[in-house]
Amino acid sequence: MTATKGLEGIVAATSSISSIVDGVLTYRGINIDELAEKATFEEVAYLLWHGKLPTRKELDELIAQLGEYAAVSPEVIAGLRLYPKNANSMAALRTVVSSLALYDEEAQDMSREANLRKAVKLQAQLPTVVAAFARIRQGLEPVAPKKGVGVAHNFLYMLTGEEPDPVAVKALDKALVLHADHELNASTFASRVTVATLSDIYSGVTSAIGTLKGPLHGGANEAVMVMLDEIKTLDNVEPYIQNKLNNKEKIMGFGHRVYKNGDPRAKHLQQMSRQLSELKGDSTLYEISVKIEELVTGQKGLKPNVDFYSASCYTLLGIPRDLFTPIFAISRVSGWTAHILEQLDDNRLIRPRAEYVGPVGQHYVPIEQRG
């Protein structure tokens, strides 16, 4: 047996949910460009769960279900009030999602029908708990979710307590579409490993959130915003980036293990960043981002990934930096749960081997003889 570092290039599962072939990302065979331009996030979630786009009746039923399930139990909100105000937002989300299982009477029901209902519940409740956590730490009361509106609209409403601008809703909705699934990425793989033991769907999503928390996965967009904050002005871009390049430091938001010719999602987020800049009447972040892209791509040949322009988009939407990765989770829970359902439909315990490289021929030495 020979190890492959990072499992790069290893095919670990078959899946009909999403694919990346020759740099083209599809959900259930539909190009991400089509979905980003034409579909709502609710349509995409239905597509991931059911393998087809919903009819008008099916879409209306899903939106009604999401509205019905969006409220969380008072005990969950009470738990959020006990978290430290400076708690890491992804650590808080990981903890609260685990606690949601305690208040779901179907938590241990492993039937496909119950798991599908739990997938919808998780999709409905993640925006609620992220918004509630954000408000509680500011000393504000959580805002109850609305019924009859989409996930993006509801999240922005619960976060601010005000009706969001339609341009902002459309921008966030598109971001949710773009982040919904991405083949067998690290967090999706973690969720499938967990439920392959026949653990429950909440455990699978909790594992995924813990994996997404890392800066080499979901946390990358937050790291991009840290860089933009440090640069501050357009004049500082070139010296800042050149110093990073000269010192061979990693520039977050560029390059991707799977995409060699650029992340197909990035262009949509760049367009959104520009549109939101126009809405806000301030193009500073967008112009800084474009200049960074020109320098990094020009000198290193690396192109921006999905994290790069999502950072400026979320900031222009007025979203605090440490909520960027939780928003990623709000979207990706649709993909995680689709993969969990698929894993359980034809389950086999995921248990790879390791190439042993330690000492051999060792023997136990009595403690008195150890040096």
Question: Helices 284-300 and 266-280: crossing angle, nearest 10°?
Answer: 150
Dihedral class, residue 51 (left if φ above 0, else alpha if ψ from -120 to 50, else beta): left
Which amino acid does the sequence have at 167?
A: V
- What CA–CA distances, in Å, run from 52 to 27, 28, 219? 10, 7, 31
Catalytic residue among 179, 256, 268, 339: 256
CA atoms within 13 A on the CB side of 183: 18
CA 222 to chain centre: 12
d(CA 254, CA 308): 7
Is 256 catalytic? The answer is yes
185's CB contacts (< 8 A; 6+ apart) are 217
Please compute, for residue 53, the number of CA atoms within 13 A of its CA located in the half-sphere on the CB side.
12
Tokens representing 280 are: 């806000």
Q: How far apart are CA 14 and CA 224, in angstroms?
A: 33
Distance CA 334, CA 47 (A): 10
Contact 118, 90 (CB under 8 A): no
Would you call 339 a catalytic residue per the annotation?
no
What distances in angstroms separate CA 366 from CA 7, 93, 311, 362, 369, one per listed residue?
A: 39, 48, 58, 13, 6
Active-site residue among 179, 307, 322, 339?
307
**Alpha-carbon distances, residue 346 vs 199, 206, 246, 357 (angstroms):** 15, 21, 50, 34
Positions marked catalytic: 256, 307
